[in-house]
Amino acid sequence: MSSNERRGGAGEPPKEALEAKKYDREAWEKMRQSDYSPFLTFQEAQKMGVPEAEIRAFVMRIAEVRAGEGDPEFVERFLNSTGFGAAEERRELLARAGEKKKELEALEKKAWEKREAPGEVVELDASASFAELAEKLAADEELQDIFQAELQKRFPDCADEVERFLGPDGAGKNVLEFFDFMGVDPEDIEIFLPIRFRRREDDK
């Protein structure tokens, strides 16, 4: 039997070649790389006649990404909805997603514990200046090292200005107002830097 006969008849092009001609490759590429809902993208791909192999590759790539982000609920729902993913692939992806979720939850818990731990942060009034912050950091070398390291890591766009204000230029510069101007949420300051702001009674 000839190769053409095995493919479905003498002189007929392979099924994959016929499928490839049926859909708009450019439109599919744009949709595949957009922020469009993965569920809707999957449905549109089927309507467009995208080959199953390409749809499967898209589905598994999305599942891989979301597993890496620690979202087992999405991974399970997405694979069930699309019908792709062998049993072993699903188990591996769900296990990875579950482990990442636990890891992220542990990091979040640690951050909140850090915020609330007495003696491990610099306490400031909401009206505190950088000069006051510099004075308190200077009294604890370990906290000062943590502050500088986390500042560079978490808020690199602010780091140079903060270092300047911790010097002579910071006497009249309010800490919260500066970070607010730079688009940094006060809660993020307390989560990532060893600082806690005292709340006024009407803010509690």
Q: Do residue 137 and residue 97 come from a single domain?
A: no
Judgement on whether residues 94 and 22 belong to the same structural domain of the protein: yes
Neighbouring residues of 57: CB distance < 8 A, sequence distance ≥ 6: none
Burial class (CB in 10 A: 0-12, 13-18, 19+), 31: middle
Q: List, for the chain, all residue ranges whose pLDDT scores fall below the cut of 70.
A: 1-21, 111-119, 199-204
Same domain for 171 and 193, yes or no, is yes
**128 DSSP 8-state letter:** -
Full DSSP string of 27-94: HHHHHHTSSS-HHHHHHHHHHHT--HHHHHHHHHHHHHHHHHTT-HHHHHHHHHHH--S-HHHHHHHH
Tokens standing for residue 125: 């009034």
- Side-chain-side CA neighbours of residue 92 (13 Å): 7
Listed residues 86, 109, 132: the one ending a domain: 109
Both tokens of 146, joined, read: 């943590």
98, 158: one domain: no
Which of the listed residues 109, 134, 163 is the one where a domain comes to its end? 109
Give the pLDDT confidence score for residue 116 in this predicted structure: 55
Residue-level pLDDT at 114: 58
- pLDDT of 117: 53
Same domain for 53 and 129, yes or no, is no
pLDDT at residue 46, rounded to an integer: 93
Q: How far is CA 135 from CA 16, 56, 102, 121, 168, in A?
A: 71, 59, 38, 13, 11
Residue 12 CA from chain centroid, whole number: 48
Domain shared by 82 and 139, yes or no: no
Task: Please state the domain count of the chain.
Answer: 2
Whole-angstrom distance, CA of residue 111 vs CA of residue 58: 35
Q: Residue 2: its pLDDT value, please? A: 43
CA neighbor of 165 nearest in space, from 136, 133, 140, 188: 133
Range of the domain at 198: 118-203
